[in-house]
Amino acid sequence: MRGVSKTVLITGAGSGFGRLAALALAERGHHVIATTETDEQATALAAEAPQLQVERIDITTSDVAKVLAWDIDVLINNAGAGETGPIADVPINRVRHLFEVNVFGTLSVTQAVLKGMVAKKSGRVIIMSSIAGVLSAPAFGPYSMTKHALEAMGKAMRAELAPLGIDVTLINPGPYLTGFNDRMADSMWEWFGDQSLNGAEADLFRMIGDFVTTDQRDPADVAQRLVELTEADTTTENNFVPVDIRAQLGLE
């Protein structure tokens, strides 16, 4: 696929990995449809990068129908939300919202894009998983639950769609400095306190949050990996960034 201009749809391109990947891919000559959740994000991104086709799409709504009008070669499922908190305490409505965005929203966009890919028997779907998709830690259970679900979805789709000429791959970043991890680590303190079932463990949860948000890496590395996956002839099932993140965390 390298050297050939592709039409690439990126969800959650208003910030972080999605924004960086959109800019990098457009610079390499690809037609990038960069979607954002809000009108404010769309306006800001369009002003910053007029080379992009910027569209507002909230993947948890009927906005998703917009993608049916586009002939997409590569879908980068980057949109996502974060939530922390002990499983015994986390408000169920927060967990539901997390699944609505990370799992059901991602699946909704993917199913819509696949209608065109199946018809032409070609395409690639890149799913933004996480190192949290293959492990779980105290306080990060809600987020890990959704990323584990994406791992199952991506692996099943990879096997199902390969005979139809469609490639599905997952990318698994560690902690990168986009602001996402910091917001996620802070989210539990909006409701968690000493009166919670796990209130006595507050210091542990703070320590884990500090660990995840300390010495975060340059997100340009993940954007570059997304460029490589977009242009690669073939992919592997999982793509860890950095490549040795599993060894660093004692998973190998």
pLDDT at 87: 93
Task: Judge whether 143 counts as a catalytic residue.
Answer: yes
pLDDT digit string (tens) for 197-217? 666 678 888 888 998 899 899
pLDDT at 9: 98
pLDDT digit string (tens) for 68-94? 999 999 999 999 999 999 998 999 999
pLDDT at 132: 95
CATH superfamily, region 7-243: NAD(P)-binding Rossmann-like Domain (3.40.50.720)
pLDDT digit string (tens) for 144-154? 999 999 999 99
**CA 174 to CA 18: how far, in whole Å?**
16
pLDDT digit string (tens) for 88-129? 899 999 999 999 999 999 999 999 999 999 999 999 999 999
Preceding peptide of 50 cis, ω within 30°: no
Residue tagged active-site, from 143, 176, 192, 240: 143
- Region 218-228: mean pLDDT is 97
Name the pTM for this structure. Answer: 0.94
Q: Spell out the domain ranges in the chain.
A: 7-243
- Region 140-168: mean pLDDT is 98
**CA 163 to CA 135: how far, in whole Å?**
30
pLDDT at 131: 96
Cα maximum dimension of the chain: 58
- Cα 214 vs. chain centroid, distance in angstroms? 21
**CA 97 to CA 104: how far, in whole Å?**
10
Q: Are the C-beta atoms of 22 and 13 separated by less than 8 Å? A: yes
